[in-house]
């Protein structure tokens, strides 16, 4: 539903629970997640450096980019990076994608053998290249196949299995309640539901009535996802749906401190100041160095450009700077240019100028 239709409690915040009092999130198997504000898996975005940064800045849970279930792809550099959790805080969660139950079960075992502590199944990605391969949200049209996949993966591994999905194939065929019932029977430990259908892609607005209905129908934790881009919206969605947590995707691009802003608002009902220019210099500098080390100089330089672009998208002179940063072909020069740009915005003690949400980017689910 549109923001105007979101219900709010007397103070705009969700009712407090015992878990809230402890600032804890939902339990997934043996793991009590750190809080109720998660970062969404996003293709090409939530790599290990970005996940670590989001957790550092308050995200209570992070899931890897989706890993393909096809074993022919497991040894590729791209797949190896996607399942690399070295130095990342627990629980280490890998999202897997595919349309064959046996292959997904084997993929789950492969990742658990390499340190995954939670397996997340992707049935939410609306991207054509994923859906055309009969994976992601395309699976929602075949409830029998959904059941076979979930049963196979849960039986294959000794760790919790979670599911991320959408409200249905299209608005005339919303079947989230049926999928949620199948998931609960299969032993899925937590559900994350994006409030759009496969056909919606990222168009229009997420609706939350279906998420509320799923939460009321199951006994396992439910996470609300879709269009959560401010502390107020997070609180309203929790209040409206009764969800156990919220998951933030595109709004975190270039704004990873949104997680601490949301958690602060949920705990105190007040806004926390945004970061200072000096803090952003430090955070972005460390992010770039971690990014270069993870990808290597050439790939790191090129893939860092989109992150830099999101950070500066709505800042003074950001558009011109984005164009210039794309011409730099050296990591040290790229890092130095970013630092000079931030210095030019004001003193280290000044708050970073207010900005709007960054450009949309594909969420993996």
List the structure tokens of 283. Answer: 């955070």
| 104/120 Cα distance (integer angstroms) | 11
Is 125 a residue of the active site? yes
Contact 184, 148 (CB under 8 A): no
| 158/171 Cα distance (integer angstroms) | 36
DSSP 276: B
CB contact burial 257-293 (16+ within 10 A = b; e otherwise) = bbbbbbbbbbbeeeebebbbbbebbebbeebbebbbe
Which residue out of 54, 125, 131, 331 is catalytically annotated?
A: 125
Return the sign of the alpha-carbon dihedral for residues 325, 288, 38, 171: positive
| 121/270 Cα distance (integer angstroms) | 35
| 363/249 Cα distance (integer angstroms) | 7
Give the CA-trace dihedral at 209, 213, 214, 217, to 10 degrees: 170
**Residue 130 host element (H or E):** helix 128-131
Each as own residue / partner, the long-range contacts of residues 325-332 (CB below 8 Å, 24 or more positions apart, any chain) are 328/301, 329/301, 330/301, 331/288, 331/292, 331/297, 331/300, 331/301, 331/304
* Catalytic residue set: 125
């Amino acid at each position: 539903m549109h923001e105007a239709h979101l219900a709010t409690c007397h103070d705009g915040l969700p009712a407090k629970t015992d878990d809230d009092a402890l600032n804890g999130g939902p339990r997934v198997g043996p793991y009590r997640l750190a809080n109720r504000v998660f970062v969404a898996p996003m293709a090409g975005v939530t790599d290990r450096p970005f996940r670590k940064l989001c957790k550092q800045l308050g995200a209570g849970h992070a899931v890897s980019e989706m890993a393909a279930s096809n074993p022919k792809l497991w040894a590729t550099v791209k797949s190896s990076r996607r399942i690399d959790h070295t130095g990342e805080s627990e629980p280490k969660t890998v999202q897997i994608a595919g349309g064959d139950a046996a292959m997904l079960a084997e993929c789950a075992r492969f990742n658990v053998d390499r340190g995954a502590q939670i397996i997340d199944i992707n049935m939410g990605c609306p991207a054509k290249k994923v859906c055309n391969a009969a994976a992601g949200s395309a699976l929602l049209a075949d409830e029998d196949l959904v059941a076979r996949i979930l049963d196979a993966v849960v039986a294959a591994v000794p760790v919790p299995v979670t599911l991320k999905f959408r409200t249905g194939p299209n608005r005339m065929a919303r079947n989230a309640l049926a999928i949620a019932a199948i998931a609960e029977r299969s032993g899925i430990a937590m559900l994350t539901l994006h409030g759009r259908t496969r056909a919606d892609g990222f168009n229009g607005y997420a609706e939350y009535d279906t998420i509320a209905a799923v939460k009321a129908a199951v006994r396992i934790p439910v996470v609300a996802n879709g269009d959560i881009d401010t502390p107020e919206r997070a609180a309203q969605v929790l209040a409206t749906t009764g969800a156990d947590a919220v998951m933030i995707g595109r709004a975190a691009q270039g704004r990873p401190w949104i997680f601490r802003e949301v958690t602060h608002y949920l705990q105190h009902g007040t806004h926390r100041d945004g970061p200072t220019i000096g803090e952003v210099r430090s955070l972005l500098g460390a992010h770039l160095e971690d990014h270069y080390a993870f990808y290597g100089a050439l790939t790191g330089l090129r893939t860092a450009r989109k992150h830099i672009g999101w950070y500066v998208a709505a800042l003074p002179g950001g558009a011109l700077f984005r164009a210039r940063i794309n011409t730099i072909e050296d990591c040290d020069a790229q890092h130095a240019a970013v630092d000079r740009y931030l210095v030019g915005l004001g003193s280290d003690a000044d708050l970073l100028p207010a900005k709007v949400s960054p450009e949309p980017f594909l969420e993996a689910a």
